[in-house]
């Protein structure tokens, strides 16, 4: 029986690889994809999510638009990382598959109330606005969620949008507060683990070699996405954040971490969006998340490349107009 998941996302090249990995994996039953404003505004994230589904040959996947603004503060986006479209590096045709009429938050609530309790996993890959709103509007869903496996936060790695805060949490710290206080089992993929999963040149070329337009698009995204972090960190390749959420569901044994208490700073101008992670257990506060710190990065890329190969073999991507080609 495939694991039922909802992917909440702000594509984002790294989100794209998480979605592709999920759609290539028969172990997972993607009930729907919900878009949220984050890397780029909602109008683009909902379009990008549909383009990614079509690239995977899965225009059957329902895509929903969610929140255009965080719960309490103004939206901050990351075009400087992802480009103006959010998927710079390849130029896919506009999506043909329709956007669902239902609001993403309503879809999340309705699905959790309909499906058997404890059988649906939420996989947030962006700011937690849609999840925070769903839990606020319908608190009864908390007991019905199997687990939340999210990309966000950091401790020993510090922040990536401020010295203290990781982008997804920084964009909507109020929503993150709701999620981490919900009592739902949480697995957190912070910068501490995603920074150990880098798109080295060898790894990118293996993906390009998958061939066809699919290999061109996937490698083009990585070529574009990694440039920002390579310059920032001086590394060969950049961290591939979001696919770790999906890889954890498929191969949890390649990850390691510790159950910790995690609180969110929402007030300080200097540190808002910081995940205050009690790794050493000094606060006396109850653990509310499994904080993942270690990963077998070779196993991760072997899994990702193998599953992308399944998609590449199934169907060429639509005719492409590569940027600058």
- Tell me which of 144, 195, 206, 241 binds ligand RIB, using CB under 6 A: 241
Task: Tell the smallest beta-carbon distance from residue 76 to Ca ion (Å).
Answer: 13
Distance CA 76, CA 65 (A): 18
Assess 167 for contact with ligand RIB (CB under 6 A).
yes
Distance CA 312, CA 164 (A): 39
Is 103 noted as a catalytic residue in this protein?
Answer: no
Distance CA 13, CA 1 (A): 29
Assess 226 for contact with ligand RIB (CB under 6 A).
no
Q: Which stretch binds ligand RIB (CB under 6 A): 43-51, 87-95, 136-144, 164-172?
A: 164-172
Identify any residues that bridge with 65 across adjacent strands, giving them in sequence order.
35
Selecting among 80, 82, 241, 259, the annotated active-site residue is 241
Which residues make Cβ contacts (< 8 Å) with residue 153, sequence separation at least 6? 166, 168, 169, 176, 188, 190, 191, 262, 275, 277
Task: Tell the smallest beta-carbon distance from residue 253 to ligand RIB (Å).
Answer: 23
CB atoms within 10 A of CB 241: 29
The entry of Ca ion, ligand RIB, none near residue 172 (CB within 5 to 8 angstroms by kind) is none
CB atoms within 10 A of CB 276: 16
Helix, strand, coil content of the chain in percent (nearest 5): 40, 15, 45
Assess 126 for contact with ligand RIB (CB under 6 A).
yes
Assess 12 for contact with Ca ion (CB under 5 A).
yes
Where along the sequence are the contacts to ligand RIB (CB under 6 A)? 10, 12, 14-15, 38-39, 125-126, 151, 160, 166-168, 241-242
Show which residues are catalytic: 241
Where along the sequence are the contacts to Ca ion (CB under 5 A)? 10, 12, 15, 125-126, 242
């Amino acid at each position: 029986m495939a694991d039922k998941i909802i992917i909440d996302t702000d594509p984002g090249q790294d989100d794209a690889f998480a979605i592709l990995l999920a759609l290539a994996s028969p172990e997972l039953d993607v009930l729907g994809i919900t878009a949220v404003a984050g890397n780029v505004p909602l109008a683009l994230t909902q379009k990008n999510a549909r383009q990614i589904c079509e690239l995977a040959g899965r225009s059957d996947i329902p895509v929903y638009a969610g929140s255009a603004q965080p719960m309490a503060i103004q939206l901050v986006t990351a075009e400087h990382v992802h480009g103006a479209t959010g998927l710079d590096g390849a130029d896919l045709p506009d999506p043909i598959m329709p956007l669902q009429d239902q609001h993403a938050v309503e879809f999340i609530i309705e699905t959790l109330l309909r499906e058997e309790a404890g059988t649906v996993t939420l996989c947030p890959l962006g700011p937690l606005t849609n999840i925070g709103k769903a839990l606020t509007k319908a608190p009864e869903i908390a007991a019905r969620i199997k687990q939340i496996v999210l990309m966000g936060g950091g401790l020993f790695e510090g922040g990536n949008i401020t010295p203290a805060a990781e982008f997804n949490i920084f964009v909507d710290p109020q929503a993150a507060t709701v999620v981490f206080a919900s009592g739902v089992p949480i697995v957190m993929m912070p910068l501490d683990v995603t920074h150990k999963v880098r798109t080295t040149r060898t790894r990118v070329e293996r993906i390009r070699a998958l061939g066809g337009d699919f290999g061109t698009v996937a490698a083009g995204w990585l070529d574009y996405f990694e440039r920002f972090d390579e310059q920032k960190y001086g590394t060969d390749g950049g961290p591939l954040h979001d696919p770790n959420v999906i890889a954890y569901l498929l191969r949890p044994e390649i990850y390691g971490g510790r159950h910790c208490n995690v609180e969110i700073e929402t007030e300080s101008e200097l540190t808002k969006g910081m995940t205050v992670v009690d790794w050493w257990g000094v606060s006396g506060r109850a653990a509310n998340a499994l904080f993942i710190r270690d990963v077998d990065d070779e196993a991760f890329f072997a899994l990702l490349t193998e599953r992308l190969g399944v998609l590449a073999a199934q169907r060429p991507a639509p005719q492409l107009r590569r940027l600058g080609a």
